[in-house]
Amino acid sequence: MAKKKVKKKTATKKIAKKATKKAATKKIAKKATKKAAAKKVTKKVAKKAAKKPAKKATKKVATKPAKKIQKKAVKTTGTPKMKKAPAVAPTKLPELGSLAPTFTLKDQNGKDVSLESFRGQNVVIYFYPKAMTPGCTVQACSLRDAQAELKANNIVVLGISGDPQKSLKKFEDRDHLNFTLLSDEDHKVAKAYGSWGMKNFMGRDYMGIMRQSFMIDGEGKIVGVMSKVDTKSHHDDVLKFFKSLG
């Protein structure tokens, strides 16, 4: 019986030793796998760290020449510099004492009106920018209200603008105008009288009719020029001028 007990004890000891050996080998295996995994992670991190600066470097190298090429292209074939509008020589005023440039234009009713048909009468030709605008309306209405006195002094009023005939008719009807309005749509007459030039409104430069008046005597000669016109007193200024001639 004693022998059997000794054998059992030795068997259990052997089993226990094997179990402890297995456990030890497992622990060693786990540690080895952990180390291997850690090594893999560090290798990956190292690879990424190595790739990043390499990529940045390649990007810089790739983009720098492209940018330089673009800059050169812009310099050579880029958007051209804006050129200033060419200076337009102002049309010259006709000389005092010279014959007034002749013309034939359509009036507000579509009829032809020529300057030569008024020989023997005093004529005021007044150029104005645009029908039915505030300043032009004031000027036209002042001449309308002074028609009786103007006719008494043998003065004919001819208003010239770049408006079409229909607009002039509306202007006449709206403000009950009682004198001749002429349409100079191609601005030929305005240019002939030096009344077409560069203007400025609210910071914008543009070509247009300049507000000017010309006094013409019965012989068709220019005897007076008003380059600066007061729209409110224009009718009085015209009357005073012709009266001063005697």
Report, as residue numbers or ranges, the catalytic residues.
136
* β-strand pairing of 155-161 with 122-127: parallel
CB 199 within 8 A of CB 206: yes
Rounded CA Rg of the chain: 50
114: helix, strand or coil = strand
Write out the two tokens for 192: 């002939």
As a three-state string, the secondary structure of 41-55 is: HHHHHHHHHHHHHHH
> Which of these, 17, 42, 37, lies nearest to 29 by C-alpha position?
37
Q: Rounded distance, CA 246 to CA 20, Å?
A: 144
Stated as kind and residue range, the H or E segment containing 197 is: strand 196-201
CA dihedral 144, 197, 183, 116 (to 10 degrees): 80
Helix axes 234-245, 134-145, angle to 10 degrees: 50
| Per-residue DSSP letter, 116 | G
Q: Rounded distance, CA 39 to CA 74, Å?
A: 52
